[in-house]
Structure 1
Amino acid sequence: MKFILRHLKPILTILFIAIIFSGFTLVNPLEEKSFSKTNFALSTVISIKAFGNNSEKAVEAAMDRIQEIENRMSAYIEGSDVWNVNHSGSKEAVKVKPDTLQVVKRGLYYSRLTGGNFDITIKPLVDLWAINTERPRVPEPQQVNEAIKKIGYQKVQIDEKQGTIKLLQEGAGIDLGGIAKGYAADEVIRVLREHGIKRAYADLGGNVIVLGKKKIGLMEYITSWIRGKKVPREQDWKIGIQDPFKGRGLYMAIVEVSDKAVVTSGPYERNFEKDGKLYHHILSPYTGYPSASGLVSATIIADNSTDADALSTSLFLLGEEKGLQLIESQPGIEAITINQYKQVRITKGLEGKIRITDKEYQLK
């Protein structure tokens, strides 16, 4: 027995190499089944990958739920809940679906928490700048001032018992662009779980959420075992933090998480240039212009994507000092900021848990 145990590893190594070079696909049937799909919704590219026997059905159901959310909560789809509220003006309360009411209520919570820096009634400014359209523009100062007068979360009245929403000022408007995508990501995870999925990830255009832990491939696991490395089969997901000065898919740092949402807000996705100046889509309800807080990226790590979505925008608008103070006061929420000088700041809970991969960036 001692002889067998002593020579087991060399024997397995020889056998493993023989399998690889023979082209035999013994490993493949043992790999976990998976299904992935990419779509365009919520004005961005959506990607979902789930692992397990029911993965295809689960992903399709999750994609359907995303489309349902967009059809209810988009301010620009005629007949949606939000469209109906905005077009009823201050005349009457509008009955909406329970999930729309839930997201509006949460949006109002963060509007109050941030003193109106994050504000779901930003629509008059969004329409004025038209940054999300093919014809963005720099409005006149007088137009900006007029739009600001129509903004204010206090202008939204909700009646939970009746399930209604009403605007209290003519010309006011709700835009859930800063929170609805986060809610959609949370719903993806809920739907996947209902279908028995225990391991998955989804990327909703900068809103990343992961379910469970990542399982490394069996071949990779065996190879590491042969080399004498104790590598666990299940590991945290490695999430890259977008480099705000480079193209999409290029990262400057990595965080490792499981069962978390990682949401980043920045000016690099939607912007336009006019007379040599760059204008981005994150508008300040107070100035009426794109935020000039000094940040170029704000990332939130949280248990759910709804909160992470709203807080990432809030952090970007508030800036380093006020923003990080707010995040530190929120239990279970962590943050990463990058300023225009490529200086990185993190909340206390992330110390030792972030790995900067680009030497141009330094922890401040």
Structure 2
Amino acid sequence: MKKNKIKILSCMLVSILLFSACGVKKDKGVKEKQGEVSQKQEQQSDEKMLLQDKMFFLNSILTLNIMDEDADKDEIYKKVQERVQELEEKFTINADSSEVSEINQNAGIRPVKVSKDTYYVIKSSIKYSELSGGKFDITVGDLVKLWGIGTDKEKVPSDDEIKSALAKIDYRKIVLDDTAQTVFLQDEGMVIDLGAIAKGYVADEIIKILEENNIKSAIVNLGGNVYVHGSKNGKDFKVGIRDPFSQDANAYFGIYKTQDESIVTSGVYERYFIKNGVRYHHILSTSTGYPIDNELMSTTILTKNSMVADALSTTTFALGVDEGLKLIENTPGVEAIFVTKDKKVYMTSGVNEKLELTNKEYEILR
């Protein structure tokens, strides 16, 4: 994995748009397009600089910013890079040698023994499939590949193609053996894709490394999955929640203040293509086979565990406003912010005054 170290401002803007306590600036930082992040660098002599490490995971750019001045950043970046590389080699479906690919290759044939990492992520995903009644389902891989959204093979599939792909989606046909630590897909042609949960797990693993090395303040940004570790000079980080209606990747409708928390957003703006005037986004329905079409534009999940946030952002988007809010209100330690097509902002009770509305076109419904 190639590593590229660059310097960035402490007042940077990351993916969902993250600001330090020194102020909010719309025109600085990292832009996201179709799940990836590009870097914009600026230098100002009167502002403190940070060292940032940039690497890649599952076709997304991962950036890590460590703010502790006395930390051995090079050594920590090396540990993070090695761990991310290890997980990439287990989770990717773009390499025949990965554990997930081996599971898929042996669908309907035999169980496959996997590592603790892969087994844990797959077992956890089943929990969210059960919570959502199958609306969240990692066996959606064949359908995802069929649409090809975000790749050079994107297309609107035929009804017959969608019907065939839907027949291969069923989390209940994932057979786990806790003792042998094996995974078996019962039907030939089933395909697991961990894209809706793996980035969250990786972010959590990075946080573990930071904690083991006594890092007090850092930002992890993995293709839109943001984790703010610690605080910024004892104050809250300020996270700008992306405006799902804007074509500007730096646009936000509100600022969320927090410490030690993961902020993960799923939205129709992330990856999509337009065909004959119709916009097709990447969050696919496991029942219709088409992009989910409900009242939502985006869902943001706020919690200490990034894998949970990753899975629940997709789950709640599929459930819709009412069912999604109900699920989060009944899930301890998790909060949510939903944006609908009429620019209404719904949030769970724990968000309260942490969210400051900055775009007056939006309305918060409490």
TM-score range, shorter chain: 0.7 to 0.9
- 2:183 counterpart of 1:165: yes
Bigger share in helix: 1
Distance 1:281 1:330 in 2: 26
Unmatched 5+ residue regions in structure 1? 1-24, 216-233
**Shift of the alpha carbon at 1:78?**
1.6
Instruction: Give the match for residue 11 of structure 1.
Output: none
User: What code does the residue aligned with 1:300 have?
Assistant: I
- TM-score norm. by structure 2 comes to 0.84
- Percent of residue pairs bearing the same amino acid type: 42
Q: What's the counterpart of residue 338 of structure 2?
A: 337
Counterpart contact for 1:111–1:153, Cα < 8 Å: yes
The 8 Å contact of residues 258 and 354 in structure 2, kept in 1 or not, is answered as no
Aligned with residue 85 of structure 1, among 103, 111, 115: 103
Distance (Å, rounded) in 1 between the aligned partners of 2:165 and 2:52 = 42
Deviation at 1:40, TM superposition (A): 2.9
Measure, in 2, the Cα distance between the counterparts of 1:314 and 1:281. Answer: 14
Cα displacement (A) at 1:248:
1.4
TM-superposition CA deviations, 1:261-294 (whole Å, max 9, x none): 0000012121101111000110010111001122
* Cα distance between partner residues in 1 of 2:62 and 2:250: 14
Give the Å deviation of 1:34.
4.7
In the TM superposition, what are the counterparts of 1:1-364 in structure 2 within 5 Å?
34-52=50-68, 53-215=71-233, 234-246=234-246, 247-364=248-365
CA contact (8 A) 1:116 1:153 kept: yes
Structure 1 residues 333 and 292, CA, compared in 2 at 3 Å: closer, same or farther?
A: same
Question: For 1:109-154, what per-residue CA distance to the aligned partner results, in whole angstroms no more than 9, with x for missing partners?
Answer: 1111111000011111111111132120101112111111110101
How far apart are the structure 1 equivalents of 2:144 and 2:59?
14
Give secondary structure in 1 for the equivalent of 2:226.
Answer: strand
Cα shift at 1:66: 1.8
1: CA distance, partners of 2:251 / 2:101? 36
Amino acid at match of 1:284: S
Structure 2 segments unaligned to the other structure (5+ residues): 1-44
> How far apart, in 1, do the equivalents of 2:81 and 2:267 lie?
25
- 1:225 — aligned with what? none
Q: In structure 2, what residue type is equivalent to 1:165?
A: V
Post-superposition, which runs of at least 4 consecutive aligned residues in structure 1 deviate over 6 A? Answer: none
CA contact (8 A) 2:244 2:267 kept: yes
| 1:15-47 per-position Cα deviation (integer Å, ceiling 9, x unaligned) | xxxxxxxxxx9x99xx8x953112332221211
Output the CA distance in 1 between the equivalents of 2:318 and 2:228: 26
3-state secondary structure, aligned to 1:352: helix
State the shift of 1:313 in Å.
0.4
**Relative contact order: is structure 1 or structure 2 higher (C-alpha 8 Å, sep ≥ 6)?**
2
Residue 195 of structure 1, CA deviation: 2.1
Please give the per-residue CA displacement for 1:302-329, whole angstroms capped at 9, x wherever unaligned. Answer: 0110000000001111111111111111
| Aligned counterparts of 1:329 and 1:59: Cα–Cα separation in 2 | 37
Tell me if structure 1 keeps the 8 A contact 2:149–2:281.
yes
Q: Which amino acid aligns with 2:121?
A: V
Secondary structure of the structure 1 residue equivalent to 2:183: strand
Instruction: Provide Cα deviations, 1:194-231, integer angstroms capped at 9, x if missing partner.
Output: 2221211111111100111111xxxxxxxxxxxxxxxx
Deviation at 1:352, TM superposition (A): 1.5
Aligned length: 318
Q: Distance in 2 between matches of 1:249 and 1:93?
A: 45
CA contact (8 A) 1:343 1:363 kept: yes
Q: Match for 1:239: what amino acid?
A: V
Partner secondary structure for residue 74 of structure 2: helix
- Measure the CA separation in 2 of the matches of 1:65 and 1:271: 30
Q: What CA distance in whole angstroms lies between the structure 1 residues aligned with 2:82 and 2:358?
A: 36
Whether the 8 Å contact between 1:243 and 1:252 is mirrored in structure 2 is yes
The secondary structure found in structure 2 opposite 1:38 is strand
Q: Distance between the aligned counterparts of 2:250 and 2:291, measured in 1?
A: 24
What is residue 6 of structure 2 aligned with on the other side? none
Query: Secondary structure at the residue paired with 2:202?
Result: helix
TM-score (norm 1): 0.84
TM-align CA RMSD: 1.6
How far the C-alpha of 1:353 sits from its partner, in A, is: 1.4
| Range moving further from structure 2, 54-63 or 350-359 | 54-63
